Amino acid sequence: MSVSESHRPLIGLTMYLEPAQWGAWSIPAALIPHWYLDLFERAGADLVLLAPGSRAEVVDRLDGLAIAGGADVDARLYGAEPDATADAPRESRDASELALYKRARERNIPVLGICRGLQIMAVAHGGSLHQNLPDVSDFVHRVRPGEFVDHDASFEPGSLIARTLGVTSAVVNSSHHQAVADAGDLVITGRAPDGTVEVCEDPSAPFVVGVQWHPEHPDRRVTDAPLLQAFVAASRAV
């Protein structure tokens, strides 16, 4: 049966709230890179875009939740003072994504966190972040904002990520200066060569996975297709 003929699950995808310019306008806007739309369309899902400020109850209408990448998570949410290198807080986005995630867990629907999304998951589980990776590692995870760095990652044998991708190591892409320091009660199942957390999971759930890399990037479409297909399949089964 083709994707078009089968049930297409309804995935909620979180959005940015950032300054944007188009036509005569230069104002704050809720937006999402089109890469994400392509990613989930190719995987066979229908999308609902969840702007910052979305109420947690919207999750009750969804089959799955995807938390997108973006700006740094506010360090005050895990009891730390923001580092000088941190982005200005996106308070409405932080609050809504934490609430959406917690509601998704209450409903036991599949969750996929991407980059910042993984970090939101860790914070929701009582964890914390390294606010500036160059302070704790010489390994390069980002040369400059907007550019990606490829590097190895290793996965725990038997973990959901290893079973889904069919490997215990892979090349992933990075563009981040923050990362999970403490995963709370999530399980760390993937790391970069310097020990930086690349994957967290909740083995008690059918599908709750956060990855630090960017499967939405066009160069990752073949490599990460099994991850997206597994997420969509889990959402279809809800």
Pick the catalytic residue from 115, 125, 151, 177.
Answer: 115
Strands 179-182 and 187-191 turn out to be: unpaired
Is 18 tagged catalytic? no
| Cα dihedral across residues 120, 122, 127, 129: positive or negative | negative
CB contact at 8 A, 99 and 56: yes
159-191 as b/e: b if 16+ CB within 10 A: bbbbebbeebebebbbbbbbbbbbbeebebbbb
| Cα dihedral across residues 216, 222, 224, 229: positive or negative | positive
205-219 as b/e: b if 16+ CB within 10 A: bebbbbbbbbbbbee
Is 151 tagged catalytic? no
Q: What are the C-alpha distances in Å from 130 to residues 51, 84, 176?
A: 26, 13, 11
List 157's β-bridge partners, or say none.
none
Is 156 tagged catalytic? no
CA angle 26, 27, 29 (to 5 degrees): 120
Q: How far apart are CA 85 and CA 95, in angstroms?
A: 21
Residues 6+ apart with CB under 8 A from 120: 67, 73, 94, 97, 98, 101, 113
Pick the catalytic residue from 97, 198, 201, 216.
Answer: 216
Pick the catalytic residue from 41, 156, 214, 217.
Answer: 214
Residues that are catalytic: 115, 214, 216
